[in-house]
Chain A
């Protein structure tokens, strides 16, 4: 590790510990974790993540005290080939530290939450051995995310980009061999594969962007790329930015590659909160913000990005209305909110986008974790119902191994008698306000923040985006406003369905409140959701985040509060909540009753319920033809053509013919063998002929001698 002169002041030299702190935690748990208790494992992992957070804070403080001048901390020489010089260096500027703080801060809270959540989850799924694995994956994710946000070149960013993709895959498929109820199933595994493959499409776009960049601009380094970007044709920049948009669409779940995110909810809830809501999916937004100087050069690309975001925001919001799974609603909400961010950065409102990214990380993490708490509560209630009569199952805790199998059998046996119970289905909930009051209040704060009600954090950030859109892009403003309306509506619907009314399932009636280790991190997040707006209030002198990011983004519009826009959005939100109360709150849903929207909206609701059949469409248009093609390639081309015909007949046949007929029969037997045999028989017959000369008559021998003498004398004469 060598340090440049620029790093002499402040704590910049600590930058590599952003990555290595979680890596060390990972290694400790990997090597020694089997001897730790669950608390020990969780503590190590949380401390590792916390250390990363502390480093982030120190870096931000050092940056602030040096007036925001971006610092590059060189760390490692990586690839040096000709003109290509790739080093692993840490870029510390206001943008990257913002991301570091969010990732490590929210990440640490979720680590702590996960200690409590996974403790119950691994027991409900009958496999306590995976507790350690979960925290190893989480730490790996933090390390990878840090590489992503701290890299000073597009290639290091890509390393992290792929790394978090891997972690996402691993964690979505964490319960790869069972469903949410612990029954054998490959659904989670399939979801993980779907996420990975969809991301791969996006990563391909990113790679194309990177290749084009290196080809046209000659570098991957952020500063060098931005500098060179002014000198090339705008067409190339358009190509780069649009290829990049494909990558963003994959990672940040935008149309048309968003389909993996709802399925990604198959992962444990902390994963949904950390990776698929707060941090990883915002990497795309970060990428666009990081590439702000490229996007500013090409307004056409900016427009496409903004429209993509806006359409996604609205489209996902409509689907969220028709969902019954508590996490699915939040997943579509996440897609919708990511649409807001992408639209914002597409419009050039980078501060607004980053602001919304930060506040969204707070309140969406809060919502997901609260949803996890709800699910746990329902599972507890269900467990209480199913196994209330034999107590030994209540503490299936620390006794793993032998007992586990017998319990597993019992578990299956126990489930046989009951109907399939999904603890995430909102139709099984209701009335949880009474049984889980802490979770209710936390959830309510998250909902209000997401719906955009003053003075919660979501109001300020969303309002800033809408304000920007109203000034420059009326279409986007319209789409986003409708999306905001839907947002408030589906969140209202969720609140009424989950916490109000009567319990629609026995499990909901017997739900229990979660322990402090789960609720305390939620309270911190709730406080942040409540007060996060203070980061960038639209009043003179309060544009903290704007000024902070200005060090990196240079041109930042600090817009004052526009009462008209703020008023309209607040009005819409309140209207939506009122509407949701009219539909879901006034007459609470009864058990087994269909959604009250189903009748009036008809096929529209069917569309929402079934995600507008996008998955089916993808299957019909892409996946199934692709499978057919694969099958054709495997069966006809590979097996019948290559294997049966080419390999078996052409190559093996030729080889056989060559070896048995050509070489063996002709070359070997009739050629070499024959020659060797002929040599043998020739010698034999020659010897037989010569033998006759040796006739035993002394006089003949003497005659031969005479002949020889005569010949030799003749030679002497002739010579």
Chain B
């Protein structure tokens, strides 16, 4: 048997790697993938808790999260494509015209 703490620590590590990816990488696609990683980490924690609590609510939340993530990825990738069409780059550091 595996204590729930192990899953939580694993979830935290994966989440942190996702955060680091968002902050460190300049490629918009990889940033997007890091966000998906963070969502996965959160999902993992939720499922773990759901398992401990013997409840289906957690699994249903994760199901919704996956559905929303799918929609998000579809819209997000469409936006990246559009940006690339105008800027010919997907480097987020190039997209800084919206500033004070």
A interface with B by C-beta (< 8 Å) = 690-699, 702-703, 706
Interchain CB contact under 8 A, A691 and B100: yes
Interface residues of B (CB under 8 A from A): 19, 22-23, 26, 92-93, 95-100
Alpha-carbon separation in the docked complex, A692 to B95 (Å): 16
The residues of B that contact A702 with a CB separation of less than 8 Å are: 22-23
In the complex, are the beta carbons of B96 and A695 less than 8 A apart? yes
Inter-chain contacts of A703 with B (CB < 8 A) = 23
**Contact residues in B for A692 (Cβ distance below 8 Å):** 100
Given contacts A697-B93, A699-B93, is CB(A706)–CB(B100) below 8 Å? Answer: no
B95, B98, B99, most chain A CB atoms within 10 A: B99
**Known contacts A696-B98, A699-B23; 4 further A-B pairs (Cβ under 8 A):** A695-B96, A696-B95, A697-B92, A699-B93
Q: How far is the CA of A706 from the CA of B93 in the complex (A)?
A: 18
A698 and B92 form a contact (CB under 8 A) = yes
* A694, B95: Cβ atoms closer than 8 Å: no
A693 and B100 alpha carbons, distance in the complex (Å): 8
A698–B100 touching, CB < 8 Å: no
**A713 → chain B, closest Cβ, in Å?**
11
The number of residue pairs between A and B whose CB atoms lie closer than 8 Å in the complex comes to: 30
Q: What residues of A have a CB within 8 angstroms of the CB of B100 in the complex?
A: 690-695
SS class, residues of chain B in contact with chain A: loop
In the bound complex, CA of A40 to CA of B32 (Å): 121
Q: Which residues of B have CB within 8 Å of A698? A: 92, 95-96
Q: Point out the residue from B19, B22, B97 that lies within 8 Å of A696, measured CB to CB.
A: B97
Q: Could you pull out 19 A-B pairs where Cβ atoms are within 8 angstroms?
A: A691-B100, A693-B100, A694-B99, A694-B100, A695-B96, A695-B99, A695-B100, A696-B95, A696-B98, A697-B93, A698-B92, A698-B95, A698-B96, A699-B26, A699-B93, A702-B22, A702-B23, A703-B23, A706-B19
Of chain A, the residue at the smallest CB distance from B19 is A706
Chain A residues with Cβ below 8 Å from B26 are 699
Give the docked Cα–Cα distance between A694 and B22 (Å): 18
CA distance A698 to B95 in the complex (A): 8
Query: How many angstroms from the CA of A694 to the CA of B92 in the assembled complex?
Result: 15
* Bound complex: CA A691 to CA B100 (Å): 5
Q: Which residue of B lies closest to A695 (CB)?
A: B99
In Å, the complex CA distance between A219 and B47 comes to: 112
Q: Are A706 and B23 in contact (CB under 8 A)?
A: yes
Interchain CA distance A177-B95 in the complex, whole Å: 102
In the complex, what residues of B have CB within 8 A of residue A695's CB? 96, 99-100
Nearest first, the 6 A-B pairs at minimum CB distance are A696-B99, A696-B96, A694-B100, A691-B100, A698-B92, A697-B96
Closest chain A residue, CB of each to CB of B22: A702
A88 to B82, CA, bound (A): 109
| B19 contacts across to A, CB distance below 8 A | 706
Complexed CA–CA distance, A145 and B18 (Å)? 118
Q: Is the CB of A699 within 8 A of B99?
A: no
From residue A206, how far is it (CB to closest CB) to chain B in Å?
91
Which chain A residues border B23 with CB–CB below 8 Å? 699, 702-703, 706
Which of B22, B92, B95, B100 has the most C-beta atoms of chain A within 10 angstroms of its own C-beta?
B100
B28: nearest chain-A partner, CB-CB: A698
What residues of chain A lie closer than 8 Å to B92, measured between beta carbons? 697-699
Residues from chain B with Cβ under 8 Å of A690 in the complex? 100
A703 to B19, CA, bound (A): 9
Give the complex CA separation of A698 and B92 in angstroms.
7
Residues of A contacting B95 with CB < 8 Å?
696, 698
**Docked CA distance A692–B98 (Å):** 12
**Distance of B16 from chain A, by nearest CB (Å):** 10
Bound complex: CA A690 to CA B99 (Å): 11
Inside 8 A of A699's CB, which chain B residues have their CB? 22-23, 26, 92-93
Whole-angstrom distance from the CB of A717 to the nearest CB of chain B? 14
> CA of A286 to CA of B48 in the docked complex: distance in angstroms?
128
Q: Give the distance in Å from the alpha carbon of A110 to the alpha carbon of B62 in the complex.
A: 129
Among A691, A699, A703, residue most surrounded by chain B Cβ atoms (within 10 Å):
A699
Q: Hey, which chain B residues are within 8 Å of A706, CB to CB?
A: 19, 23
Docked complex Cα distance between A690 and B26 (Å)? 25
